[in-house]
Amino acid sequence: MTTYTVQQLADLVAGEVEGDAARHVSGVASVDRAGPDDVTFAVNERYAQRLESTSVGACLVPPGIPLEANGTAYIRVENPELAFGMLLGIFHPEHRPEPGVHPTAIIGRGTRIDEGTCVGPYVTIEGASVIGSGTLIGPHTHIGANVTIGSDCRVGPGCTILHDVELGNRVRIHTGVRLGVDGFGYTAGAEGLMRIPQVGRCIIGDDVEIAANCTVDRGALGDTVIGRGTKIDNLVHIAHNVKIGEDCIIVAQVGVAGSVRIGDGAQLGGQAGIAGHITIGSGARIAAQAGVIGDVPAGAVVSGYPARPHRQSLRASAGTLRLPEFQRRLRELERRLDAETESE
Active site residue 240: yes
Judge whether 233 and 211 are in contact, CB under 8 Å.
yes
Q: Which of 163, 174, 240, 277 is catalytic?
A: 240
Angle, to 10 degrees, between the axis of helix 310-321 and the axis of helix 323-343? 50
Task: Give the chain's count of helices (H) and strands (E).
Answer: 5, 40
- Whole-angstrom CA distances from 227 to 35, 53, 177, 234, 264 are 41, 47, 17, 18, 8
Nearest-angstrom CA–CA distance, 311 and 314: 5
For strands 285-286 and 136-137, give the pairing: unpaired
Which residues, including other chains, have CB under 8 Å from residue 268's CB and lie 6 or more apart? 248, 249, 250, 251, 254, 256, 262, 274, 280, 286
Q: Which stretch of DSSP H or E encloses residue 17?
A: strand 16-18
Active site residues: 240
